[in-house]
């Protein structure tokens, strides 16, 4: 770690630290925070010319305490006239964010698009943000290691920065702690940080939060991450040869969409993934046998995450290859037929109420069987509160803050709210981008530090079939009713 001073215009920035294990672009991001001069406008004089974003520090020849010269103009802030209309540029930054209708982008710190896109998708979950806001420096319980605790703090702070800033944010503290907790994300190739798998980053972050955001000391011991993202599966494992049959349950954070020649749509891929063959020892036969495992969803989450299994290990090239096949996915996903019989029964009432409510909007008469006297007690909402594994949820509160008798119930119907895409032929290369639905209902593409408005009809075109961006992870939000 070197310390230098930087002369810029009439200012002298003293004791600026340079982490020589990271590319010069990260140093430029530091200077951007200090001066407001975007990295692409910075001209930093070093031995041999101008400092390049990807230069090797060992060849730059910097010395401890060296004085550097930087040229470049900061982002201009338009001043409002003494009298007249107030322009957005003149508003406080937090108000500018509200006016823009979307949060800030994230600087790429060197092949960190996998991390940036994951953060943008998870940042779109208000209940997760709310839990992180409540998490304090002193809130660590004994089951959470110090690095996980600090990574959770860094995520909380980064989410806060994204909500308050109109300029791109450099997630240096978060990135440092992510690599400390999970060293695989710090792999280097020829001195440059390597591209990583966004799904692995997503999974590891949720695992960290599942430990740190668990309510320590509470009699209920609430698991925030499981309430928001946990999917309960009930499986039947049958051996046709011996007639043996067992059952098991498990909880996962995502469903898989398997891709084959027969799969053209997300729903088909989900069905394929819930059936699998496995070979294991058969006590009845005294040898190995083939078992068929059939799974059903037995508990639904508030946010349903689906991973398209696009990467596989290719022995010939000794790397992860990519399946480019087009697999369509909907804006509205109904998983009712993937659920267990027990869960289907619990969903029937809320689903009928949802149909009646939607029918009313279209001017149709409601089904008197389920909603004759309760018309005034039913309200369709978009997924507030937290559900439990059975598909029910917490009791709602009235505007006065007094608990009411109404409950928020899941219906098995979900709306698309985020898509994480990958462009390229290998998991270890290419580019990741997040496409996130804002609270206003508009979609934004977050390509690192560049947020771009998008049309909803273009979001479902990210389905693959070529070298363009294609969906790798989809996140759906539960459509619920209040009963």
Point out which residues pair with 156 in neighbouring strands.
none
469 is catalytic: no
Q: Do 277 and 293 meet the contact criterion of CB atoms below 8 Å apart?
A: yes
Q: Strands 470-482, 379-381: parallel, antiparallel or unpaired by DSSP?
A: antiparallel
State the residue for tokens 């088909």.
Answer: 268
HSE-CB for 453 with a 13 A CA cutoff: 7
Q: Do 26 and 39 meet the contact criterion of CB atoms below 8 Å apart?
A: no
Helix axes 146-164, 113-123, angle to 10 degrees: 70
113 is catalytic: yes
Helix axes 198-212, 146-164, angle to 10 degrees: 110
Residue tagged active-site, from 238, 265, 272, 431:
431
| Helical segments of 335-378, H only | 341-361
Q: Do 135 and 236 meet the contact criterion of CB atoms below 8 Å apart?
A: no
Q: Do 113 and 448 meet the contact criterion of CB atoms below 8 Å apart?
A: yes
Residue tagged active-site, from 113, 201, 257, 339:
113
Write the CA distances from 136 to 127, 171, 174, 210, integer angstroms.
Answer: 16, 20, 16, 16
Q: Quick one: DSSP state of residue 424? A: S
Please calculate the CA angle 181-186-187 and round it to the nearest 5 degrees. Answer: 135
Q: CA 29, CA 270: separation in Å to the nearest integer?
A: 42
Residue 435's nearest CA partner among 332, 333, 331 is 331
Phi, psi (deg, nearest 5) at residue 36: 85, 5
Beta strands in 239-331 (DSSP E): 245-252, 255-257, 275-282, 287-299, 303-308, 311-314, 319-322
Q: CA 107, CA 25: separation in Å to the nearest integer?
A: 10
Q: Do 420 and 117 meet the contact criterion of CB atoms below 8 Å apart?
A: yes
Point out which residues pair with 73 in neighbouring strands.
none
Residue positions annotated with a catalytic role:
113, 431
């Amino acid at each position: 770690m070197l310390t230098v001073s930087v002369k810029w215009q009439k200012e002298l920035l003293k004791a600026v630290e340079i982490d020589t294990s990271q590319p010069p672009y990260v140093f430029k991001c530091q200077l951007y925070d200090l001066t407001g001069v975007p990295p692409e406008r910075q001209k930093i004089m070093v031995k041999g010319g101008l400092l390049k974003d990807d230069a090797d520090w060992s060849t730059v020849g910097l010395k401890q305490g060296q004085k550097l010269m930087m040229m470049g103009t900061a982002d201009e802030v338009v001043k409002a006239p003494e009298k007249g209309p107030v322009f957005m540029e003149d508003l406080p930054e937090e108000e500018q964010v509200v006016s823009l209708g979307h949060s800030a982008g994230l600087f790429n710190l060197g092949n960190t698009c996998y991390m940036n896109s994951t953060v943008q998708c998870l940042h779109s979950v208000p209940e997760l943000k709310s839990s992180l806001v409540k998490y304090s420096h002193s809130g660590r319980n004994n089951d959470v290691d110090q690095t996980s605790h600090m990574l959770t703090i860094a995520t909380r702070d980064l989410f806060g920065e994204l909500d308050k800033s109109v300029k791109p944010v450099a997630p240096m503290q978060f990135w440092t702690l992510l690599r400390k907790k999970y060293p695989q994300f710090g792999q280097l190739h020829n001195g440059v940080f390597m591209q990583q798998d966004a799904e692995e980053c997503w999974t590891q972050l949720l695992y960290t939060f599942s430990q740190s955001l668990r309510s320590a000391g509470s009699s209920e011991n609430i698991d925030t991450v499981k309430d928001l993202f946990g999917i309960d599966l009930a499986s039947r494992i049958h051996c046709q040869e011996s007639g043996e049959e067992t059952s098991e349950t498990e909880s996962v954070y995502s469903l898989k969409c398997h891709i084959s020649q027969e799969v053209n749509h997300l729903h088909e891929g989900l069905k394929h993934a819930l059936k699998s063959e496995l070979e294991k020892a058969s006590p009845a036969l005294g040898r190995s046998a083939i078992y068929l495992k059939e799974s059903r969803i037995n508990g639904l989450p508030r946010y349903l995450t689906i991973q398209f299994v696009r990467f596989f290990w290719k022995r010939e090239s000794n790397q992860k290859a990519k399946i480019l096949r087009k697999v369509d996915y909907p804006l509205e996903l109904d998983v009712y037929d993937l659920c267990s019989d027990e869960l289907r029964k619990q969903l029937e009432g809320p689903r009928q109420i949802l149909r009646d409510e939607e029918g009313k909007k279209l001017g149709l008469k409601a089904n008197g069987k389920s909603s004759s006297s309760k018309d005034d007690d039913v309200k369709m909402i978009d997924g507030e509160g937290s559900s439990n594994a059975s598909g029910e949820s917490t009791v709602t509160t009235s505007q006065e803050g007094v608990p009411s008798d109404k409950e928020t119930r899941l219906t098995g119907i979900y709306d698309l709210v985020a898509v994480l895409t990958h462009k390229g032929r290998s998991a270890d290369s290419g580019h990741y981008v997040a496409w996130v639905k804002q609270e206003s209902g508009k979609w934004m593409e977050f390509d690192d530090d560049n947020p771009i408005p998008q049309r909803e009809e273009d979001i479902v075109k990210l389905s693959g079939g070529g070298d363009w961006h294609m969906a790798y992870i989809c996140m759906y939000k539960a459509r619920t009713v209040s009963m």
